[in-house]
Amino acid sequence: MWMLVPVAFALKMLSVFLQPLGSVWSSLGTLFLQLRAASWLAGGERNRLLQGRREAGEPSRVEGEGGGDLPTTPTSVNYHFTRQCNYKCGFCFHTAKTSFVLPLEEAKRGLLMLKEAGMEKINFSGGEPFLQDRGEYLGRLVKFCKQELQLPSVSIVSNGSLIRESWFQKYGEYLDILAISCDSFDEQVNVLIGRGQGKKNHVENLQKLRTWCKEYRVAFKINSVINRFNVDEDMKEQINALNPVRWKVFQCLIIEGENSGEDALREAERFVISDEEFEAFLDRLKDVSCLVPESNQKMRDSYLILDEYMRFLNCRNGRKDPSKSILDVGVEEAIKFSGFDEKMFLKRGGKYVWSKADLKLDW
């Protein structure tokens, strides 16, 4: 019996210590719950602030607590899923340096990640995007983005030479905008630039595509690169006749490693025009209502560009420096190295009415 006394004493002492310890754990638990609630409320406030800035057309990168920034939202993304092309435009700044194309399901996985990060518009480009699997690869991505991801806007930039009416019949309903590259309405100038196709006429094909876009309810857009060979051309009459929703006019841009330098596949120096020449071209065409001009200054850093590996390309140093792939590190981490100037994106009118459901076109 006497041996039980120390045991009882020890249990009594343990209970004395456990009472304040239990009180401490209870306090810590309450504090943890309060901190978690505060963090959730702060996160909600930051998300509401980000959404409000998007709706107001303001940059999503804003000063937050502790000097940090909200992550850049990939609102509009240009996915160059292939570098291969059937044209040889002398000023091309995204050349055929690889033949790589992601497996379809991997491309879809990356597009889903971009949608979850806030993407509203995807633009497919190249290279020539209709070259891969005769347009089937592209068509499946277009359908996936519109039908499954339900993106407000899905668009394509193409030279138009490989598009067939059967593609519109199969995938046209899922496409909002088709932009066709056309730098001249003089076929001899197109040949000088590198858009020649032998017996095929680039300008005649443009008119056929315009007709198909109207028939299959796809908004029609024209992209033109103004360079040494077309800077004096008056395109007003032809543009007004085609009546695109937008006529995007770019100043010829030099990118080291793409169209300039030892490792480049093109030599674009002979195509370059001065800022003054570009402004003079725009001044002559200022009455064209659909004209959307982009100088080198506006263009260089105001696009989110994904290459064939789904890496963001940073053009701030006059060349294309890739981030790590979003498939490996996620969108938020990769986009930090994109060099994206969101203020310039908004200033150049990068966000516009880009869904055909909202364009209210007279089909």
| Cβ-based burial of 39 (10 A; exposed 0-12, middle 13-18, buried ≥19) | exposed
In sequence order, which ranges of the chain are alpha helices (DSSP H)?
4-55, 104-116, 136-143, 165-171, 187-193, 202-215, 236-242, 275-284, 296-299, 326-329, 331-334, 342-347, 356-359
319 and 339 Cβ atoms separated by less than 8 Å: no
CB 275 within 8 A of CB 231: no
Q: Which of 89, 182, 213, 315 is catalytic?
A: 89
Pairwise CA distance, residues 349 & 191, whole Å: 32
Task: Count the helix, strand and coil residues of the chain and give each as a percent rounded to the nearest 5.
Answer: 45, 15, 40
Distance, in Å, from the CA atom of 249 to the CA atom of 225, rounded to the nearest integer, reads 6
Q: What angle do CA 320, 326, 329 make, to 5 degrees?
A: 115
CB-based contact 171:141 (threshold 8 Å): no
Does residue 85 have an active-site annotation? yes
Q: Which two tokens stand for residue 30?
A: 């309450």
Residue 48 three-state SS: helix
Residue tagged 């994206």 (tokens) = 340
User: Alpha-carbon distance 341 to 67, whole Å?
Assistant: 19
Q: Choose, from 92, 145, 182, 213, the residue flagged as catalytic.
A: 92
End-to-end CA distance of the chain: 101
Q: Is 213 a catalytic residue?
A: no
Q: At what angle do helices 104-116 and 136-143 cross, to 10 degrees?
A: 30
Residue 315 bears catalytic tag:
no
Query: What tokens were used for 109?
Result: 């996985």
CA 214 to chain centroid: 25
Residues recognised as catalytic: 85, 89, 92
